[in-house]
Amino acid sequence: TSITIPENVTSIGEYAFYYCTGLTEITIPVSVASIGSNAFNRCMAITDIVIPDSVTSIGSNAFLGCIGLTDLVIPDSVTTLGYGIFSECTLLKEITLPKNITVIPQEIPGTMLGQINQMMALAGGGKRELLARRSYSHRCPRSSPSAQ
């Protein structure tokens, strides 16, 4: 399943695509400024998410359980990352964090946590904060277990 979020949407709400296991592609327009908590939680079939430069915050658990993701680029416009956004992303091997990040995710898979802690220490650290907004929601069909 492929979804294009309408151009007039300014934020992706909490649980907007929660457990959309059949979602393979999503197009996020440049009008979006925030991605809410759990927005893509358990979207297991997504292999790539392009976050536009307009996004400034990503809520907690936004990508939790997105087991198809192998790399993710968080644009420099993002200053706030909620906790657990990369939890259970077992294939995630590379995360590009913004240079101006002011909030650090609390859960990073595998050895990436040590690498990020080193990068943040060199950059002067940052404060932890949780930010999420409710707005765009979409009900999508879940793929059946036999289809996976």
pLDDT digits (tens, 9 = 90+) for 99-139: 777 656 555 444 444 445 444 444 444 433 323 333 344 45
Cβ of 49: how many Cβ atoms within 10 Å? Answer: 20
Number of C-beta neighbours around residue 7 at 10 A: 9
The residue ranking higher by pLDDT, 36 or 94, is 36
Closest CA to 16 of 147, 143, 133, 148: 133
The DSSP letter of residue 103 is: S
Tokens encoding 8: 């007039």
Residue type at 129 in one-letter notation: E
Does residue 44 surpass a pLDDT of 50? yes
pTM over 0.95: no
Residues β-bridged to residue 117 = none
| Rounded Cα distance, 20 and 25, in Å | 11
Contact 106, 86 (CB under 8 A): no
